[in-house]
Chains A and B, each alone.
Chain A
Amino acid sequence: MTLAGLLITDWLQLLALLGVTLAFAYPLGMYMADVYEGEHTFLHPILGPLERAMMWLMRVQPHQVMTWKEYTAHFLTFSFVCGAALLIQLLVQKYPSVSPDLAINITLSFISGTQWQSAAPETSIALFTQLTGLTVQSVLSAATGLCVMIALIRGLTRSERKDIGHFWVDLIRGLVYVLLPLCFLLAVFLVSQGCVQTFGETLSFLSLDDATPHSVMTGPVASSAAIKQLGTNGGGYFLANAAHPFENPTPLSNFIQIVAMLLLPAASLFCFGKMAGSMKQASIILAVTLFFFLVPAISTTLLETAHGPNWEGKEVRFGIAGATLWTTASTATSGGATNAAIDSFHPLSSMQYMLLIQAGEIFFGGVGTGLACMLVFVLLAVLISGLLIGRTPKYLGKTVGVFEIKMASIIILIPAFMTMLGAAIAVSVSVGTEGLTAHGAHALSQILYAFTSVSNTNGSAMAGLNVNTPFYNLITMLAILLGRFGAMTCMLAIAGSMAEKQKTISNATALNTTTFVFFCALCAIIIINVMPYFPAIVLGPVAESFHLAPEGTWP
């Protein structure tokens, strides 16, 4: 049975996805606001001792505060110290196949939550390193993302304060009260579905067709997959990522893993609403989010079924919608986990995924970074709408000034710059094009997607392009470095500058950021922001779609 071109079951899956996500996200958001504000929560009796122990270990007091510059310095130092530790682990581990350029690439990739994997993890990275290196970094990078978000929320909602919280306090609270319990629950659930969690070694079996021995790796996969989804990291234990049956065994585990990707970003929205003292402010952002999430979620499912189901590169156990919803979620957030080959999607589907990433991964978005980046767009929309009604642009009662817009511009320009410049360099040099397996428009799409993904710390790829070369490892590393740490520094700068400002009262002649018109303004600003990518996209996926379509059947 179909409704408007989609199977009823697909509609139901979509509705259930949003319903379940929001139903869990709301209480989680309230809880997060309490956690970061230092309120007592129901988990304090159990996890309180752990929090206190970690605080004691780091020599911090819960009431300490930092200016944005201190906060940034601690955040960067922490990330790079973690990075150094991971790098050493990667270089001294027992598998010799990790070259220095790959090691640095993996390191930056994991401390930034990108999880761009240019080599197959199961054949290049030892089990111990996967567990204590990669999985740990996945947790920590998610926690730092939350730190930056909470600092920005504080900046916007406080008034006349020099401080935006304390990095270590936020980090520890995020780890102990938010990520730890959620990861634990999800890992247990995944194990129940058949996901492996073991220190056992490789399994061997004889295949049915030719009776030759094959081997399958195992390892602590469930714990790795839990944070991969919850932290919108996307780095699979296996190269096949969530298409691998040990990482994502059943349709239910598939569904819950999609929810897990959207959960923390959606909860962050409600957390913002609570801290801003106005759920309406959060709802307007939620409305924009849902709009830009639903359009690709529905249209890519339509595209993948338009000329009969396109099963190439998709797992039959998840179904078409299981793959399109997953991929929409993992590109709308900074997840980048895949359960299907993006390379094999309809060109106009992969175009939409690319656009979702290029928009800045703000529709739900990455853990912490998604909301932070969305708020940057809100500031830009406030700038234009405020002027339209003859008022100094103000958001939540605070003036949006030159400094904030400068920082916002840098945040937006960094990925655009890295994507387009990176792609232009890659197509111009032989080391950039030698790894190509496709031709014409599709080759262009692959390169464009690769740079889009790393510049926005997404981590998903169209594959088909061999990126484990010194050229790609170094250039994508640079994109990740700037895309994550450059942008987050600017976000913290906005937080610091906004925190110092005074709040002014709002009246009937002030800009109301909870109306439908503001919704439109925010949507327009987001679309204008992706406009610079259009020329490249027209020559990539759009041209390809014409190429593939038989006469008169486009799209």
Chain B
Amino acid sequence: MTSNEQKNPALNFSLIKNALLDSVLRLNPLDQIRSPILFVIYMGAVLSTLILFTSLFNSSSEPLGFMLSVTLILWVTVVIANLGEAIAQRLTEAGAAELQKANSSYTAKKLTNVNNKDSVVTLPASSLHKGDIVLVEAGDFIPADGIVIEGIATVDESAITGESAPVIRETNRERNIVTRGTLVLSDWILMEVTADHGESALDRLTQMTTKMKRQKTPNELTLEVFLVATTIALVIACATFYPLSLFYVEQAGTGEPTTLMILIGLFVCIAPTTIGGLLSPISISGMNRLMKANVVATSLRSVEAAGDISLLLFDKTGTITYGNRQAASIIPAPTVTHREIVKASLLASVADDTPEGRSIVDLAFKHYHMKPEALDKEAKIIPFSAETRMSGIITSQGTIVKGAQDVIELHVASQGGMIPKEVTQQVEMISRQGGTPLLVAENSKVLGVIQLKDIIKPGIKERMGYLRIMGIKSVMITGDNPLTAAAIAAEAGVDDFLAQASPEAKLSTIRKAQQNGEVVAMVGDGTNDAPALAQADVAVVMNNGSDAAKQASNMIDLDSSPTKLIDVVKIGKEILMTRGSLTTMSLANETSKFLAVIPAAFVGSYPALEKLNVLHLSSPENTVIAALVFNASALLLFIPLALKGVRYQAIKADALLLKNTLIYGVGGFAAPLIGIKLIDLVLVALLGQAGGP
């Protein structure tokens, strides 16, 4: 999991200035109608402007200063309501522009002769094809997505990952993926192009982020429908109130009917403006966060679906274990000292270039502090061959070999030796635990056993635990036998495993889980994962995965990090939580504003309503203005939260609901009462007891 404390495409002054300009330029009805709630507020501002103009020529019941202030505040509210989206879009564009810049101007040094590093032709990156071999040196940008076939280099991948620390890219399968648009800082590599121009991950990312006409997700639409319904009800309430008020005054024979200006003000106070204005920025910034987590998703919908996952299936290899088995311990035979066997193992492995061989050298150094000695000239290496199935070295002292039990048994038997009983027992025990035993023999004498096993990547157990707290059950898929699988599953802290898994078994596991009502996520890479990926509700494929797998999935993880799903789930939940929190806040806010403003709005018709003015606000006009100012400031203040998102914590749903309800519901109800009172006090201090009825 990458920690995403990445650089933020500068939320700086000029960006905000541009966004502000955008939101003013958007004030034409055609743009506004896209968001129904904002459109109604916009119409309120238009209407109040009209009233203001007509009152310039006619006498009106409201003071001109009040009408002017209301109209101004309404326009400011409309601009602020658009500001959130404008900033979110500017941020996205800035991020995309950076990527695009990286995208456009590359040249590539293509090798005309694959075996000759000097046969370089320089050509534009766009003319590269799959299978081309390209040389990339320090200071060059990687011109296409590909894999390293020779060399080693440090690469700055911050354009994509946002991580500032450079990473090593080399032929090792763990680290051989290079992505277009990243910068080689030192040394050189030869890479093979794996994607034609226009298909690479970066292209998809750029296309996605520049696509501004995004589709609303089902969750967003659902919420919008609810908010629109609430707004319609409030529009009806305020619109029909005018004739009711006229009727009342006519009947009572005293008082003044409520003016349209006050009703417009009242409506804007009680409409769900905050969430209405922030609905769109929440989604756009969610997409932004996903980009920063280095995941390409086909739609935001699948990201939101990730928040509901209850079951996660993933491949063992490359996910929770390293690709190869590695030496975990070295156990001497009776009568052999630790030093002897480690030394022999080292000798037998020092020239062994396989991952297992290297891991033995590593182990010897790390655990037994022994370094390989310089070999004498006469030493002859026995390389591993499929025929002998063992490797080793012939030195002046004798022959040291290592290999599986049956091979070594034959080898020592041919020299008159045999395997001691204790060693056989060790071999059996290692097998039972899911490991692979390697026997080491010097001439006819068996020195001991090296235990090879799958090494669990560091931190996996914690992450599996975290998944569990998030309510997600993890299932490991492996081709191993059940015994080995169980051992690894237990060590990695995985909830369950599917051993000796065929593609059919994976598919049917997912189907069965879905029938039981699970929402299933699958992380895979191989072609044989494709059917399972297609069946899963959320499918994440590694960037080094096959094309078939990529097509069957709805998210591609550019980092090929198996536990990236945690980030995706978090982002998905955060988008929903931000929407929910701001909706709750908005509704709670509106309710208390409503209660504060109603007495003020109607006191002209019925003076006794002054008794309901529990906040002791100075005058009806000031109350409406204070409520409108509070409304606009709340909208402004919550833009950062909409952009950053409400942080997800893996706690029980009940506790989370309580917490968010208290913060956004109860807090949202209390805040306007305090805010309106304070603004009213400021108004009184500034204007004196002005604007009274």
- Which A residues have a C-beta under 8 Å from some C-beta of B? 380, 383-393, 397, 400-402, 405-406, 408-409, 412-413, 416-417, 420-421, 423-425, 427-428, 433, 439-441, 443-444, 502-505, 507-512, 515, 517-518, 520-521, 524, 527-529, 531-536, 538-539, 542-543, 546-547, 554
Residue of A with least CB distance to B646: A390
Q: When the two chains form their complex, are residues B653 and A505 in contact, meaning their CB atoms are under 8 A apart?
A: no
Q: When the two chains form their complex, are residues B517 and A505 in contact, meaning their CB atoms are under 8 A apart?
A: yes
Of B225, B248, B576, the residue contacting A406 (CB under 8 A) is B225
Going nearest first, the 4 A-B pairs with the smallest beta carbon separation are A387-B580, A390-B573, A509-B471, A409-B229
| Interfacial chain A residues near B653, Cβ < 8 Å | 389, 391, 508-512
Q: When the two chains form their complex, are residues A413 and B233 in contact, meaning their CB atoms are under 8 A apart?
A: yes
Q: When the two chains form their complex, are residues B226 and A380 in contact, meaning their CB atoms are under 8 A apart?
A: yes
Of A412, A504, A528, A554, the residue contacting B587 (CB under 8 A) is A528
Q: When the two chains form their complex, are residues A440 and B251 in contact, meaning their CB atoms are under 8 A apart?
A: yes
B654 on the A face (CB < 8 A): yes
| Interfacial chain A residues near B307, Cβ < 8 Å | 390-392
Q: When the two chains form their complex, are residues A391 and B308 in contact, meaning their CB atoms are under 8 A apart?
A: yes
Q: How far is the CB of A422 from chain B (nearest CB, A)?
A: 9
Q: When the two chains form their complex, are residues A443 and B654 in contact, meaning their CB atoms are under 8 A apart?
A: no
Q: When the two chains form their complex, are residues B598 and A384 in contact, meaning their CB atoms are under 8 A apart?
A: no
Given the interface pairs A427-B243, A534-B594, A539-B245, the reply to whether A387 lies near B310 with Cβ below 8 Å is no
B606 on the A face (CB < 8 A): yes
Q: When the two chains form their complex, are residues A387 and B583 in contact, meaning their CB atoms are under 8 A apart?
A: yes
- Could you list 20 examples of A-B contacts with CB < 8 Å? A383-B223, A384-B587, A387-B223, A390-B572, A390-B577, A390-B656, A391-B307, A392-B219, A393-B219, A420-B237, A421-B236, A505-B518, A517-B657, A529-B233, A531-B591, A535-B238, A535-B241, A538-B598, A539-B606, A543-B602
Q: When the two chains form their complex, are residues A388 and B241 in contact, meaning their CB atoms are under 8 A apart?
A: no
B73-124 CB contacts (< 8 Å) to partner A: none
Q: How far is the CB of B587 from chain A (nearest CB, A)?
A: 6
| Interfacial chain B residues near A416, Cβ < 8 Å | 233, 236-237
Q: How far is the CB of B466 from chain A (nearest CB, A)?
A: 12
Residue of B with least CB distance to A516: B658
Q: How far is the CB of B109 from chain A (nearest CB, A)?
A: 48
Q: When the two chains form their complex, are residues B577 and A402 in contact, meaning their CB atoms are under 8 A apart?
A: no
In the complex the two chains form, what is the Cα distance from A433 to B248 in whole Å?
Answer: 12
Residues 215-232 of B, flagged 1 when their CB comes within 8 A of A and 0 if not, give 000110111011011101
Q: How far is the CB of A18 from chain B (nearest CB, A)?
A: 28
Q: When the two chains form their complex, are residues B580 and A388 in contact, meaning their CB atoms are under 8 A apart?
A: yes
Q: How far is the CB of A192 from chain B (nearest CB, A)?
A: 47
Given the interface pairs A505-B516, A508-B653, A510-B471, the reply to whether A417 lies near B661 with Cβ below 8 Å is no
Q: When the two chains form their complex, are residues A420 and B648 in contact, meaning their CB atoms are under 8 A apart?
A: no
In the complex the two chains form, what is the Cα distance from A424 to B609 in whole Å?
Answer: 22
Of B240, B251, B665, the residue contacting A424 (CB under 8 A) is B240
Q: How far is the CB of B606 from chain A (nearest CB, A)?
A: 5
Q: When the two chains form their complex, are residues A512 and B654 in contact, meaning their CB atoms are under 8 A apart?
A: yes
Given the interface pairs A421-B236, A512-B654, the reply to whether A402 lies near B517 with Cβ below 8 Å is no
Q: When the two chains form their complex, are residues B519 and A504 in contact, meaning their CB atoms are under 8 A apart?
A: yes
Instruction: Report how many residues on chain B are interfacial, defined by Cβ distance under 8 Å.
Output: 79
| Interfacial chain B residues near A433, Cβ < 8 Å | 247
| Interfacial chain B residues near A521, Cβ < 8 Å | 661
B583-604 CB contacts (< 8 Å) to partner A: 583-584, 587-588, 590-591, 594, 598-599, 601-602
Of A423, A443, A505, A531, the residue contacting B240 (CB under 8 A) is A423
| Interfacial chain A residues near B260, Cβ < 8 Å | none
Of A406, A502, A538, the residue contacting B609 (CB under 8 A) is A538
Q: How far is the CB of B348 from chain A (nearest CB, A)?
A: 51
B233-265 CB contacts (< 8 Å) to partner A: 233-234, 236-248, 251-252
Residue of A with least CB distance to B587: A528
Of B234, B240, B657, the residue contacting A385 (CB under 8 A) is B657
Q: When the two chains form their complex, are residues B243 and A428 in contact, meaning their CB atoms are under 8 A apart?
A: yes
Given the interface pairs A392-B305, A416-B233, A511-B653, the reply to whether A386 lies near B580 with Cβ below 8 Å is yes
B608 on the A face (CB < 8 A): yes
Q: When the two chains form their complex, are residues B652 and A509 in contact, meaning their CB atoms are under 8 A apart?
A: yes
B317 on the A face (CB < 8 A): no
Q: How far is the CB of A539 from chain B (nearest CB, A)?
A: 5
B274 on the A face (CB < 8 A): no
B664 on the A face (CB < 8 A): yes
Q: When the two chains form their complex, are residues A389 and B611 in contact, meaning their CB atoms are under 8 A apart?
A: no
Which of A511, A521, A535, A536 has the most chain B CB atoms inside 10 A of its CB?
Answer: A535
Residue of A with least CB distance to B473: A507
B266 on the A face (CB < 8 A): yes
Q: How far is the CB of A420 from chain B (nearest CB, A)?
A: 4
| Interfacial chain B residues near A517, Cβ < 8 Å | 654, 657-658, 661
Of A397, A406, A534, the residue contacting B598 (CB under 8 A) is A534
Q: When the two chains form their complex, are residues B517 and A397 in contact, meaning their CB atoms are under 8 A apart?
A: yes
Residue of B with least CB distance to A428: B243
In the complex the two chains form, what is the Cα distance from A408 to B228 in whole Å?
Answer: 12
Q: When the two chains form their complex, are residues A392 and B233 in contact, meaning their CB atoms are under 8 A apart?
A: no
Q: When the two chains form their complex, are residues A405 and B244 in contact, meaning their CB atoms are under 8 A apart?
A: no
B563 on the A face (CB < 8 A): no
10 further interface pairs, Cβ-Cβ under 8 Å (given A387-B580, A388-B580, A543-B608): A388-B661, A391-B307, A392-B219, A405-B226, A425-B243, A428-B247, A505-B517, A509-B650, A533-B237, A534-B594
| Interfacial chain B residues near A505, Cβ < 8 Å | 310, 516-518
Which of A400, A420, A532 has the most chain B CB atoms inside 10 A of its CB?
Answer: A532
Residue of B with least CB distance to A547: B608
In the complex the two chains form, what is the Cα distance from A361 to B108 in whole Å?
Answer: 73
Q: How far is the CB of A440 from chain B (nearest CB, A)?
A: 4
Q: When the two chains form their complex, are residues A388 and B584 in contact, meaning their CB atoms are under 8 A apart?
A: yes
B270 on the A face (CB < 8 A): yes
| Interfacial chain A residues near B572, Cβ < 8 Å | 390
Q: When the two chains form their complex, are residues B577 and A532 in contact, meaning their CB atoms are under 8 A apart?
A: no
| Interfacial chain B residues near A428, Cβ < 8 Å | 243, 246-247
Q: When the two chains form their complex, are residues B251 and A439 in contact, meaning their CB atoms are under 8 A apart?
A: yes
In the complex the two chains form, what is the Cα distance from A533 to B608 in whole Å?
Answer: 20
Q: How far is the CB of B83 from chain A (nearest CB, A)?
A: 23
Residues 519-540 of B, flagged 1 when their CB comes within 8 A of A and 0 if not, give 1000000000000000000000
Q: When the two chains form their complex, are residues B594 and A531 in contact, meaning their CB atoms are under 8 A apart?
A: yes
In the complex the two chains form, what is the Cα distance from A512 to B606 in whole Å?
Answer: 46
In the complex the two chains form, what is the Cα distance from A511 to B660 in whole Å?
Answer: 13
Which of A393, A401, A408, A507 has the most chain B CB atoms inside 10 A of its CB?
Answer: A507
| Interfacial chain A residues near B222, Cβ < 8 Å | 383, 393, 400-402, 405
Of B248, B304, B583, B658, the residue contacting A384 (CB under 8 A) is B583
Which of B229, B581, B609 has the most chain A CB atoms inside 10 A of its CB?
Answer: B229
| Interfacial chain A residues near B240, Cβ < 8 Å | 420-421, 423-424, 536
In the complex the two chains form, what is the Cα distance from A258 to B246 in whole Å?
Answer: 39
Q: When the two chains form their complex, are residues B580 and A504 in contact, meaning their CB atoms are under 8 A apart?
A: no
Q: When the two chains form their complex, are residues B225 and A409 in contact, meaning their CB atoms are under 8 A apart?
A: yes
Q: How far is the CB of A447 from chain B (nearest CB, A)?
A: 8
Q: When the two chains form their complex, are residues B608 and A504 in contact, meaning their CB atoms are under 8 A apart?
A: no
Residue of B with least CB distance to A510: B653
| Interfacial chain B residues near A383, Cβ < 8 Å | 222-223, 226
| Interfacial chain A residues near B229, Cβ < 8 Å | 405, 409, 412-413
Residue of B with least CB distance to A418: B236
Q: When the two chains form their complex, are residues B308 and A389 in contact, meaning their CB atoms are under 8 A apart?
A: no
B605 on the A face (CB < 8 A): yes
B579 on the A face (CB < 8 A): yes
Residue of A with least CB distance to B665: A524
B574 on the A face (CB < 8 A): yes
Residue of B with least CB distance to A390: B573
Q: When the two chains form their complex, are residues B310 and A388 in contact, meaning their CB atoms are under 8 A apart?
A: no
| Interfacial chain B residues near A392, Cβ < 8 Å | 219, 304-305, 307-308, 576
Residue of A with least CB distance to B588: A524
Q: When the two chains form their complex, are residues A387 and B579 in contact, meaning their CB atoms are under 8 A apart?
A: yes
| Interfacial chain A residues near B219, Cβ < 8 Å | 387, 392-393
In the complex the two chains form, what is the Cα distance from A441 to B247 in whole Å?
Answer: 9
B565 on the A face (CB < 8 A): no
| Interfacial chain A residues near B237, Cβ < 8 Å | 416, 420, 531-536
Q: How far is the CB of A235 from chain B (nearest CB, A)?
A: 29
